[in-house]
């Protein structure tokens, strides 16, 4: 990709987000729009991640029977 192609793609991304921008828009206007896109994406990521369920911890069998069996296995069945 050449530098000209890269700049054309950058302008295309900015134009897709803000149709008021055009070929006469300055690099500063384009950068401002790209920063706005980034900020909105970060906010959306925070919003989406707040609705994800918390990971579940593994469930362990802490029943009395399990502990007795473990104790008998360590001591041996005498």
Residue 75 domain-assigned (yes or no): no
Q: What domain count does the chain have?
A: 1
> Model-level pTM?
0.58
Both tokens assigned to 1: 């990709």
Residue 76 has pLDDT above 80, yes or no: no
Residue 74 has pLDDT above 90, yes or no: no
Closest CA to 50 of 42, 61, 40, 38: 42
Residue 20 domain-assigned (yes or no): yes
Residue 69 domain-assigned (yes or no): no
Q: Which residue range is the domain that position 26 belongs to? A: 3-55
Residue 60 domain-assigned (yes or no): no
Give the pLDDT score at 39.
Answer: 95
Q: What digits encode the pLDDT tens for the residues 20-58?
A: 988 888 989 999 999 999 999 999 998 888 888 877 888
Residue 14 domain-assigned (yes or no): yes
Give the pLDDT score at 14.
Answer: 92
């Amino acid at each position: 990709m050449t530098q000209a192609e890269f700049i054309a793609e950058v302008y295309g991304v900015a134009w897709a987000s803000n149709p008021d921008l055009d070929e006469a828009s300055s690099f500063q206007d384009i950068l401002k729009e790209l920063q706005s896109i980034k900020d909105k994406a970060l906010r959306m990521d925070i919003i989406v991640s707040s609705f994800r369920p918390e990971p579940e911890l593994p469930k362990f069998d802490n029943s009395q029977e399990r502990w007795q069996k473990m104790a008998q296995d360590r001591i041996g069945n005498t």
